[in-house]
Chains A and B, each alone.
Chain A
Amino acid sequence: MARTQEGGSDWEGVRLHVVSGKGGTGKTTVAAALALALAAEGRRTLLIEVEGRQGIAELFGIAALPYEERKIASVSPARLGLPGTGTGEVFALAIDPEQALLEYLDMFYKLGRAGKALKKLGAIDFATTIAPGLRDVLLTGKACEAARRKGPDGRRAYDAVVMDAPPTGRITRFLNVNTEVAGLARFGPIYNQAQAVMRVIRSAETAVHLVTLLEEMPVQETVDGVAELREAGLPVGGIVIDMVRPPLLDEAAVRAADGDHREEVARALVDAGLSGRSRSAQAVRTHVEPLLDPLLEQAREHAERVLLEREQRAELARLGLPSYQLPLLGEGVDLGGLYRLAAELKSQGAA
């Protein structure tokens, strides 16, 4: 792979990006945008989904992903607003725990047809259900394997792997596979696998990013999540503040409009042409007066929100982590929007 340019990223050296966040914060979208951003400058990235929701396929508007790495996007520098020519590639993979276990068993035991028998008997389902830890080891193990895989030329198969991980509430447990399987296997291949996975996850090659909104509950969950990750010795990455809306009016402006200046604001609305062509007192009364209170009410709500967001921002700043801001895309996220978010992440140094 051609690497045309180094530097500019806060996460140089990180190969496994784990993206988590409270439900509804846009975790999958951010993971996908990050995979696109990391693919800039002719790189190759893999976007992994572990919860079987097919959120990636939904987002990219493609058919459901099989358990197989396949290319889902090309990233030319121009699409991210960058100079240069190297076209990057994003691959995607939806991991299915059952198939991952079979694949894994096959690696160690050369199961052949016995694998089918195991599956038919329900043994695979059984094994992944009795031990959620086992399921997690297989999922994280697959991501770690992809992050470390080397091609025939000795180069890494992927420059970066991005995992759309379980939500903040479950992320520490999910990644801390060592403790999860401790009660399960004290030796043997699964134990070794868990050890190997932990080595990658705890290393400087991994970063766990948390996505949040500027609202109380997601911010609280983010603060708690960071504390948990730190306590478990897992590498906390950055904070992605998603769906940020620009402040249009601040509190001072609202107060000004609501008090003595009410008359002046009303006159300004007439100047704005809201009473139609007529500027008569009658026209002002019928067209402008009824607008004043609702408009001021909206401004008060807006100011309240801006204030609340400022508090949440301060709360997040206390975490002392790199943070990135993504704008709210009004019409929902389509492919164009995804590239826009990727360009934002790239320009802010997240990739």
Chain B
Amino acid sequence: MTGKTGATAAERAEPQTALDVDALLDDRETRIIVCCGSGGVGKTTTAAALGVRAAERGRRVVVLTIDPARRLAQSMGLSELDNTPRPVKGVAAANGGELCAMMLDMKRTFDEIVIAHSDPERARTILENPFYQSLSAGFAGTQEYMAMEKLGQLRARDEWDLIVVDTPPSRSALDFLDAPNRLGSFLDGRFIRVLMAPAKVGGRGAMKFLGAGMGLVTGVLNKVIGAHVLTDVQTFVAALDSMFGGFRERADRTYRLLQAPGTAFLVVAAPERDALREAAYFVDRLAADRMPLAGLVLNRVHTTGAPQLTAERALAGAETLEENGIGDGTSAAAGASGGSTAAEAVAAGLLRLHAERMQVIARERRTRDRFVSVYPDVPITEVPALPGDVHDLDGLREIGARLNSTPA
């Protein structure tokens, strides 16, 4: 990121545009919301909270999550989430709204594609292939690809009018958008085509074309990854070949679906340097891929009800009280019943707490303003921090309300 800092950023009090989350949820044209961001910023919780709020505002919503966080499933009253959308009970279904939730099972999703797109005999060959098994369980990018695949499927079923997707916690911001192409281009890759040539034309063509070089290559690979692996791959790709065109086509279709006006990307971050740096990468990447960015959700932003009392004055006040001959705030409880000095100790504690809060707020604001100065056009909503974690639908509702608390 080009870290533009300095006075211009510091002077700007509020982001130039506020993100109106309710308007986004209420807009019937919004059919897909994709939440992306780095790990640990509350992305999954945000997706769930958006789902609850949209459903209670009359949308028929399905939330697709990738993160197998048990607590989140529990917070929606589901003992666990699986590959099938399950209705979430307890959501106030106003105006025909409803909420379903599911968690991506990449292996099963992959299996379903194979079964749906080939005859039983061929499907069995593929499913039993050892290479397929390692590909479907752990291929770098399979999760991202399958998330896209599932999204495409959900959209095609047309049972819901809003799909909220929580993207995989990718180590790099680029993985998710690359997913549709990655698997395709891998299967379409030059090397795999060369490998396939012998299987297709009886071995002659490729060998002739590459001469002894190919022998060396396959020889080395056989030694390194085991002789049966290349055979497995060849068998697999041969079996997959008929449905291969379908793979690419669907991946491309999902990619175009994401670019369409009915899709809104929300970049989720916390007001911390690293999280906002990641957010900046996402914003850049979405722009580069011409994906429709709705705005930035800034989670866990601290606020205060007493902004008029500065950190400096609060600290000075605490020191004055402490100089009056009592300990620090932590020992306040011990003497809480002891009259005025105990009250002074508590008051000193309150003031220190407030000073700390004001410092946190100032730091978060600086971090946010640096982002704003580089991306002045990105609408932002700030979600005030909750003191604890979210456990239930009420918690998700509270987050939903807080998603809309940025003063317009």
Q: Which residues of A contact B (CB under 8 A)?
A: 22-25, 51-53, 101, 105, 108-109, 111, 114, 117-118, 121-123, 125-127, 129-135, 166-167, 173, 180, 183-191, 215-218, 220, 247-253, 255-257, 261, 264-265, 267-269, 271-274, 290-291, 293-299, 301-302, 304-305, 308, 330-332
Contact = CB atoms under 8 A, between A and B. Distances in A.
The 3 lowest CB-CB distance pairs between A and B, nearest first, are A24-B40, A23-B39, A294-B305
A153 to B, nearest CB: 33
B321 A118 contact: no
A126 B71 contact: no
Size range of the chain B interface in the assembly: 35 or more
B27 to A, nearest CB: 31
B260 interface: no
Contacts of A255: 336
A290 B272 CA distance: 30
A332 B270 CA distance: 13
Contact of A298 (B135, B273, B329, B350): B350
Given A134-B225, A291-B309, A305-B387, A267 B343 contact: yes
Contact of B316 (A252, A269, A273): A273
A113 to B, nearest CB: 11
B275 A24 contact: yes
Given A183-B133, A305-B388, A330-B363, A129 B220 contact: no
Interface stretch (B78-86, B151-159, B352-360): B352-360
B223 A248 contact: no
B307 to A, nearest CB: 9
Contact of B320 (A123, A252, A273): A273
A191 B229 CA distance: 13
Majority secondary structure of chain B interface residues (helix, strand, loop or mixed): helix
Contacts of B217: 117-118, 121, 123
B280 interface: no
A253 B275 CA distance: 35
B340 interface: yes
Interface string B281-310: 000000000000000000000001110110
B261 to A, nearest CB: 32
Given A122-B191, A185-B226, 13 more contacts: A23-B38, A52-B171, A105-B220, A126-B186, A126-B189, A132-B134, A184-B134, A218-B40, A256-B332, A261-B342, A273-B317, A294-B304, A305-B388
Nearest to A111: B220
A176 B105 CA distance: 22
Nearest to A303: B387
Contact of B342 (A132, A249, A256): A256
Interface of B: 38-41, 69-71, 130-131, 133-135, 138-140, 169, 171-172, 186, 189-192, 194, 213, 216-217, 220-221, 223-226, 229, 233, 270, 272-273, 275, 304-306, 308-309, 313, 316-318, 320-321, 324, 329-330, 332-333, 336-337, 339-340, 342-354, 356-357, 359-360, 363, 387-389
Given A130-B131, A131-B134, A248-B356, A23 B229 contact: no
A127 B140 CA distance: 12
Residue with the greatest number of chain B CB neighbours at <10 A, chosen from A125, A294, A304, A331: A294
A38 to B, nearest CB: 24
Contact of B344 (A24, A117, A268, A332): A268
Majority secondary structure of chain A interface residues (helix, strand, loop or mixed): helix
B337 A256 contact: yes
Contacts of A24: 38-41, 270, 275
27 contacts: A23-B38, A53-B172, A123-B191, A132-B138, A188-B224, A188-B226, A189-B224, A249-B350, A250-B332, A253-B336, A261-B336, A261-B342, A264-B339, A268-B340, A271-B320, A272-B317, A272-B347, A273-B317, A291-B309, A293-B305, A295-B350, A298-B305, A298-B306, A298-B353, A299-B349, A301-B387, A302-B353
Given A51-B171, A121-B217, A268 B347 contact: yes
Contact of A304 (B313, B360, B388): B388
B346 A129 contact: no
A80 B81 CA distance: 47
A240 to B, nearest CB: 15
Contacts of A250: 330, 332-333
A252 B134 contact: no
A20 B72 CA distance: 22
Nearest to B345: A253
A216 B220 contact: no
Contact of A269 (B131, B172, B304, B317): B317
Contacts of A133: 134, 138
